[in-house]
Amino acid sequence: MATIKKLLLFLTLFTSFVNPTTSEPCSSYKFPNNPNYATCNDLPVLDSSLHWNYNPKTSMIDVAFMKNNVKESSWIAWAINPNAKGMLGSQALIGYRKSDGSFKAYTSSITSYATMLQESNISFPVYNVSGMYADGSMTIFASLQLPQNVSMVNHVWQEGSVSNDGTFRAHALTGSNVQSFGTLDFKSGTVSQKIDGKLKARTRLKNVHAILNAVSWGTLMPIGVILARYLKAFEGLGSTWFHLHRVCQSIALLIGTIGFGTGLYMGSHPGVHNNPHRCVGMTLMTLALVQVCVAFCLRPKKDHKYRKFWNIFHLIVGWTTIVLAVWNVFKGLQILGGDLIWRNIYGCVIGSWVIIVISLEVGTGIISWKKKRKRTIHELSA
List, as residue ranges, the binding site. Answer: 209, 245, 277, 314
Question: Which residues fall in the annotated binding site for heme b?
Answer: 209, 245, 277, 314
Q: ∠ CA(197), CA(187), CA(196), 5° rounding?
A: 0
Q: How far apart are CA 229 and CA 361, in angstroms?
A: 9
Q: Closest by alpha carbon to 263, among 253, 273, 254? A: 273
φ, ψ dihedrals at 162, nearest 5°: -115, 130
Q: Using the 8-state DSSP alphabet, how is residue 178 labeled?
A: G
**Helix (H) / strand (E) containing 40:** strand 39-42
Looking at residue 381, its amino acid is S
DSSP per-residue codes, 238-260: TTHHHHHHHHHHHHHHHHHHHHH
User: CB of 119 within 8 A of CB of 134?
Assistant: no
Smallest Cα–Cα separation from 168: which of 103, 267, 98? 98
Sign of the alpha-carbon dihedral angle for 18, 21, 26, 30? positive
The phi, psi pair for 42, rounded to 5°, reads -80, 115
Rounded distance between C-alpha atoms, residue 84 and residue 87, angstroms: 9
Beta bridge partner(s), residue 161: 74
